[in-house]
Structure 1
Amino acid sequence: MDQFISDFLVGKNFQQLATNFVPHYTTLVSKVGGIISPENLGRIQAALKEANLKDVADIIEESLMAAENAPLDVAVIGESGTGKSSFINALRGVSYEEEGFAGVGVVETTMKKTPYQHPKYLNVTFWDLPGTGTPNFHPREYLEMVEFATYDFFIIISSSRFTLNDAFLAQNIKEIGKKFYFVRTKVDNDLYNEEKSKPTSFKRERVLQQIRDNCLANLSHIGVPEPRIFLVSNFDLDDFDFPILEETLLKELPVHKRYTFVLLLPNLSDASIEMKRAFLKEKIWLDALKSSALSFIPFMACFDGFDLPQQEKCLNLYQSHFGLDENSVKETAKKLGMSVEEIKSFTKSLNFWLLVKDDSIIARAMNCVECYCSVNGGLPSTLFQFLKIYILHLKFINTVADDAKILLVDAYGVTDVHGGGCSSDLLLV
C-alpha cells in the first residue's frame, strides 16, 4: 500500500501531508513528467495545508478530466515522397491496406490536408498535409489553407535534404508559438545502400553520424538555428531516434496532453512500455487520493463496491492500452502463426479470474484496514473494498505491462528490448 495514501486514510496531520505531497508525487511520475501541472500541484498542497479536502478532490478530478479528454492534433508536413503517410500509419498502428490506411505512393498522394483519427484514441488526429515541394505549393496560400494555428505540434519530414520551404514553415511555426521537429526518414535505406556499396569499410554508427551532420549543416545553411533532428525508419520504429523523439514530444507537450499521447505510442520497446505503466499507475494513485479525500466529507459517496463486471472492464481497458485486448491478441497470433491459447500460456493478464481471486490482494487490503481500525476503531467494509480495488488495479497494470514485455521479447524474438531486432509489421498491432 502506498505510504502517502495510508497516512491520509488514518488521518495523519494534514500539515505534514501537505509537506510530503509534492516530494512523494515526484517519485511516482514518469521521467518525462506527470499528469498534474506545477500550478495544480501547488493548489493541492495549499488545500491540504488548510485541510480543505473538497478542493483537493476537485483539483484532482479537474486534472484527470483534462488529461483523459484532451484532444491532440498532430501535423505531418514535408515534400511529397518523403514518407509522411507511412510515418502516420506507423504511429497509428495501421498496417498496409487496413481500413483507414493513409495513402502511400511515389507521387503526391495528399492533395489537401487529410485527417486520420487514431483507431483506439478517437480524440487524437494525425493530419497529413499536402507536400511542399510541388508546383502546387505557394507558401502564403499554403499557411492559410492548412490553418497552421490549429495543431498542437508539427513534424517536418524529409528523406534526403531539408529545403527552403521547410525552413520557411519552421519559421512560421515558431512565430505562432508552436513546437516543430525535423524527422529524417528512410534511414534504413541509406544504411542498406551504403553497406552494399562499401561492404568492407561500412560502419553503421559512422554512417548515421554523417546523415545527422549533413542534416544539421543543411538546416543551418537555410536559416534554421540549432535544429533538432531525429533519424527514423517507418518500418522499424523501435530503432534509431524514434524512442528519443517519443520522450522529447512527451516532455514538451502541455501537461494535460501527455496522458493522451503516451497511450497511443506503439509498444516497441521496454522504455515505451515503462512510460505507459508510470502514467497509468499515477492515474490510479490520483484516483485513490481523490477518493481518500472525499471519504472525510460527510454524505459524500467515495468508495465503490467491488463490482466484478466493472473490474473486468477496467482490465480490458488496460489490455487495450498495451496491445493485449482480444482483437490485438488475435491479430498478433495470426501474424506469428500461433494460436491465442499459445499466447495465453505464457501471459498472465488474459485470465481475469486468476487475477481477481489472488488471495494476496485480500490479505494486503485486510492489513491496511486493520492499521486504519487500530487508529479509528470499527471495521468499515467500504474502506476494505476501496483498498482491495486500489491494490487490484495496480496488479492489473503491472501484470499487463509485464505481459507486453514478454510478447516483445519472447513472442517477437526481440533480442534487445531497448531497440532493434524485430519487424514493425509484427509489433504495430
Structure 2
Amino acid sequence: MDKFMCDFLVGKNFQQLAINFIPHYTTLVNKAGGIIASENLDRIQAALKEAKLKDVADIIEESLVAAENAPLDVAVIGESGTGKSSFINALRGLSYEEEGSASVGVVETTMKKTPYQHPKYPKVTFWDLPGTGTPNFHPHEYLEMVEFATYDFFIIISSSRFSLNDALLAQNIKEIGKKFYFVRTKVDNDLYNEEKSKPMSFKRERVLQQIRDNCLANLSNIGVPEPCIFLVSNFDLDDFDFPRLEETLLKELPVHKRHIFALLLPNLSYTSIEMKRAFFKEKIWLDALKSSALSFIPFMACFNGFDFPQQEKCLNLYQSHFGLDEKSVKGIAEKLDMSVEEIKSFTKSLDFWLLVKDDSIAEKAMKCVECYCSVNGGLPSTIFQFFKIYFLHLKFINTVADDAKILLHKTLEILSHRR
C-alpha cells in the first residue's frame, strides 16, 4: 500500500506531506534519475506545503506532457564498416533485413546525413552522419554542415582505433556545449579472433581491458583527456558496456527526455527492462497523485469507474512498450521455434482477465479505502475504484516487465544452445 497516497487522500497534515514528498519520490525512480526536474520537485513541495492542490496537479501535468512529447535526435558518426548502421538498427529494434533498417555493409559514398525514425516512437530519430575520414576534413565546417544544433548528443563509433579527426570532432562538439560518447564496436569479433589465435592463454576480461586501454591511450595521445569509452557488440547488446552506456545517457540527458529514451531501449538486457519498469511505475504514481490533487474536492470529478475496455487498452500499451504486443509475440515465437500458445503458457501478462480478477488488487484497494474512511467516514465507491485502478496498473507493469525478462532469458538460453 502506498502510504503517501493514502495520507494525501485523507487530507493529513500537508506540512508533513510536503516534507515526505521528495524522499518518497526518490524511492520510486531508478538510479539514472526520474522524469521531473529538481526545480519542479521543489515547486511541488512548496505547493503541498501551502495545500495548493491545483498547483500540484498543474506542475505534474506540465512535467508529464514535456516527457511524453519530447523529441530526441541522436547523431551517430563513423566510417563505413565500423558497425554504425548495425548500432542504429539495434537501438531501433530492427534487424538489417527488416523494412526501414539502415543499410549494412554498403560502401559509404555520400556526404549527406540520413535520418532513421524509430518504428514505435516517431519523435525519436537516429541520424547516420557522414564519416570524418576524408583528407579535407575540418571539424567546424563539418558541424555546420550536419547542423549540430539539431542533435541531443553525438555517438562517435569506431571498430578499431579512433582517429585524429574523431578527436578533433569531439573537441569541437565539447566547445559547442553538446555531449559526445566514444563507442568501440565489434568487440565480440576481437574476442573471437583472440581466442582462436591464442586458445591456451585467452582470458576474456584481460582482452577487454587491453582493448579499453588501447582506446584510452589512443585518444589521450591525440588530444582527448579522460575520454568516456564504451565497448559494445551490436549483436549482443546485453553484453560488455552497453548497459553502462544506457545508464550514462539517461543520467546525462535533459530530464524531460529521459522517459522517451527509456521507452526505446530494446529488451536486450535485464538492466534495460528494469530501467523501463521504474520509469513506468514513476509515471503511474505521478498520474495518480495528479488525479488525487485535481479531484480532492470532490473525488467524483476525476475518479472514473472501472472501465474494462479502457484497462485492457492500458495493458496493451504496456505490452507494446515491452515488446509483448501481438506482432512482437508472434516474432518471438518464430525465433524460439515455439507456438504463441506455448509462450502464453509461461507468461501471465497476455491474459487480461487473469490480471483483472486478481483478488489481491481489490484487497489492497480496500485497505486504502478503510484508511480513508477511518478519517472521513462513509464508504465512497469512487475511492475504491481509484485505488483498484492504481494497483491494477502497477500489477500490469510489473507482470509485463517480469514476462519480458522471462522471454529474454528463454531467448538467450535457446540461442546459446544453437551456437
Query: Where do 5+ consecutive residues of structure 1 fail to align?
Result: 416-420
Mapped contact 1:139–1:165 kept (Cα < 8 A): yes
1:69 aligned onto 2:69: yes
2:283 aligned partner? 283
Which string of whole-angstrom CA distances, capped at 9 and with x for unpartnered residues, describes residues 24-71 of structure 1?
Answer: 111111011001111000000000011000000000000011111111
1:117/1:136 CA distance change after superposition, 3 Å: farther
1:385 aligned partner? 385
Q: TM-score, normalised by structure 1?
A: 0.94
1:199 aligned partner? 199
1:185/1:53 CA distance change after superposition, 3 Å: same
1: CA distance, partners of 2:235 / 2:181: 19
1: CA distance, partners of 2:393 / 2:299: 26
1: CA distance, partners of 2:109 / 2:259: 32
1:144/1:422 CA distance change after superposition, 3 Å: farther
Mapped contact 2:183–2:231 kept (Cα < 8 A): yes
Letter of the aligned partner of 2:226 in structure 1? E
Letter of the aligned partner of 1:201 in structure 2? S
**Distance apart, 1:266 and its partner CA:** 1.2
2:39 aligned partner? 39
SS of 2:413's partner is coil
Which string of whole-angstrom CA distances, capped at 9 and with x for unpartnered residues, describes residues 344-373 of structure 1?
Answer: 000000000111111221222122112211
**Distance apart, 1:21 and its partner CA:** 0.5
SS of 1:115's partner is strand
SS of 2:183's partner is strand
1:180 aligned partner? 180
1:302 aligned onto 2:307: no
> What are the within-5 Å matches in structure 2 for residues 30-179 of structure 1?
30-108=30-108, 111-134=111-134, 137-179=137-179
Which string of whole-angstrom CA distances, capped at 9 and with x for unpartnered residues, describes residues 156-205 of structure 1?
Answer: 00111111111111011101111100000111111111111111111111
Letter of the aligned partner of 2:25 in structure 1? Y
2: CA distance, partners of 1:150 / 1:244: 25
Mapped contact 2:96–2:104 kept (Cα < 8 A): no
**Distance apart, 1:412 and its partner CA:** 3.6
SS of 1:413's partner is helix
Aligned Cα root-mean-square deviation (Å): 1.8
1:418 aligned partner? none
Compare 158-167 and 353-362 and name the one that shifted more: 353-362
Which string of whole-angstrom CA distances, capped at 9 and with x for unpartnered residues, describes residues 311-332 of structure 1?
Answer: 1110011111111111100011
1:388/1:41 CA distance change after superposition, 3 Å: same
**Distance apart, 1:79 and its partner CA:** 2.1
**Distance apart, 1:298 and its partner CA:** 5.1
1:24 aligned partner? 24
Letter of the aligned partner of 1:119 in structure 2? P
Mapped contact 2:86–2:234 kept (Cα < 8 A): yes
Query: Where do 5+ consecutive residues of structure 2 fail to align?
Result: none
Q: TM-score, normalised by structure 2?
A: 0.96
**Distance apart, 1:137 and its partner CA:** 4.4
Which string of whole-angstrom CA distances, capped at 9 and with x for unpartnered residues, describes residues 122-143 of structure 1?
Answer: 1110000011113574544322
1: CA distance, partners of 2:142 / 2:135: 12
Question: Percent of pairs identical after alignment?
Answer: 87
Mapped contact 1:131–1:137 kept (Cα < 8 A): no
2: CA distance, partners of 1:209 / 1:22: 40
Mapped contact 1:102–1:116 kept (Cα < 8 A): yes
Compare 78-87 and 384-393 and name the one that shifted more: 78-87
2: CA distance, partners of 1:14 / 1:390: 22
**Distance apart, 1:106 and its partner CA:** 5.0
2: CA distance, partners of 1:107 / 1:132: 14
1: CA distance, partners of 2:222 / 2:414: 40
| Number of residue pairs matched by the alignment | 419
SS of 2:301's partner is coil
Compare 194-203 and 312-321 and name the one that shifted more: 194-203
Compare 241-250 and 292-301 and name the one that shifted more: 292-301
2: CA distance, partners of 1:364 / 1:132: 58
1:356 aligned onto 2:356: yes
